Structure 1
């Protein structure tokens, strides 16, 4: 993460923003809570709409802990570019260092074309968006995974409040957008 270290002063002054990104797939079944039953007796809980699914793109600002989340129908190149454009709008006037996993739609196709169009001809230090990858097979390195976990745990604790999948999606989104996140994984990147 040497590019982050090289930009530390600009990060603190706001000229460069470091964001960590990930996608989450919320399923109707993610709201299931726990129930008590008799020992050695199977307890059945009927589920409806098991196939209902919502994809979210989320990025956390490493310096401030602010979390940006948007719903999409699927994780793909077009939606990745759409989310990155939204981040550029939010941080207009700042360069962005975006750290994420190695999903193909992060590295190829529409995203690659977008970066070539956006940053083509500029020196690397002047790129509007610089993309960096977490190590392969290391989801524990991405603090956004912890944010998704907190959101799903919130849903499980409040499962009784959500009667429809629309309620679940609204509850999840409200929980994630109403707070600032702070935990050691974030602080480790900017010390």
Structure 2
């Protein structure tokens, strides 16, 4: 089973696409000014199934927990990863991947080429839908909205089209 994985940070901020304003005036934009966020880990497989999980941070602890969820869903896989530091340089992750090398075969996306990963399209769509020119009432509201979005949407993306880009 071919599986692609990635993470994305959803900041508790507005994402402005376009705004109407009187010519010569400055638009009024609501913003929190904070750096609080939620992080999503996501995967798509060649059979069309997907797995999304929310974490407080993008780090090796979250990644190792997510790998355990992936292994339960896909007992044997070829896993495509980007070269994030906690994917390839964190000792506990290296040990984990070596321990499970018979069931998880890792392949790396090229450096600086996120367009090869179809999950990037899932993040783009989610951010446009959930954060597009709106400011959630709170971080908890942002978490609820993103949870609803990633639990109810099915992404019908052709993995091989992206991988052979």
TM-score (norm 1): 0.76
1:115 maps to what in 2? 97
Deviation at 1:167, TM superposition (A): 1.1
Aligned-pair CA distance for 1:182:
1.6
> Matches of 2:10 and 2:63 in 1, distance apart?
17
Q: Secondary structure at the match of 2:100?
A: helix
Between 1:151-160 and 1:33-42, the stretch displaced more is: 151-160
CA RMSD of aligned residues (A): 2.1
Q: What residue in structure 1 maps to residue 76 of structure 2?
A: 95
In the TM superposition, what is the alpha-carbon distance from 1:46 to its structure 2 partner? Answer: 3.4
**For the residues of structure 2 that align with 1:34 and 1:158, how far apart are their CA atoms?**
8
Which of 134, 152, 176 aligns to 2:127? It is 152
What are the within-5 Å matches in structure 2 for residues 1-191 of structure 1? 17-32=1-16, 34-48=18-32, 50-64=34-48, 66-91=49-74, 94-108=75-89, 109-119=91-101, 127-157=102-132, 159=134, 162-184=136-158, 186-188=159-161, 189=163
> Unaligned 5+ residue runs, structure 2?
none
Runs of 5+ consecutive residues of structure 1 not aligned to the other structure: 1-16, 120-126
Contact kept in structure 2, 1:151 and 1:175, CA below 8 Å: yes
TM-score computed with the length of structure 2 as normaliser: 0.87
Distance of 2:71 and 2:125 partners within structure 1: 26
Q: 1:138 and 1:52, CA in 2 relative to 1: closer, same or farther beyond 3 A?
A: same
Larger radius of gyration: 1
